[in-house]
Amino acid sequence: MDLIAQRVSKLLANGTGGYDWSGLPLLVDWLGVTDVEGLLQRLAVIRTHKPGRLHHDTENA
């Protein structure tokens, strides 16, 4: 599902940092996504991810 989310993210990207949500139903059908809620959660993580920044440092806790 993570690879599908990455693909959907790239296909929905509108070039200004957001998504063109009007294409979501087409992509969900085309890619055979059955867990739309899970896909939306993954898209939120992809969109808000800050590269190079650790979210949880368990080794130094």
Q: What is the pLDDT along the chain (61 residues), one digit of tens a residue?
A: 899 999 999 999 999 989 999 999 999 999 999 999 999 999 999 999 878 866 565 555 4
Cβ contacts of residue 19 below 8 Å, gap of 6+?
A: 9, 12, 13, 43, 47
* Letter string b/e over residues 15-27, b meaning 16 or more CB atoms within 10 A of that residue's CB: eeeebeeeebeee
pTM given for the model: 0.76
CA dihedral 39, 8, 3, 50 (to 10 degrees): -80
What's residue 43's pLDDT? 96
Cβ contacts of residue 5 below 8 Å, gap of 6+?
A: 39, 42, 43, 46
What's residue 2's pLDDT? 92
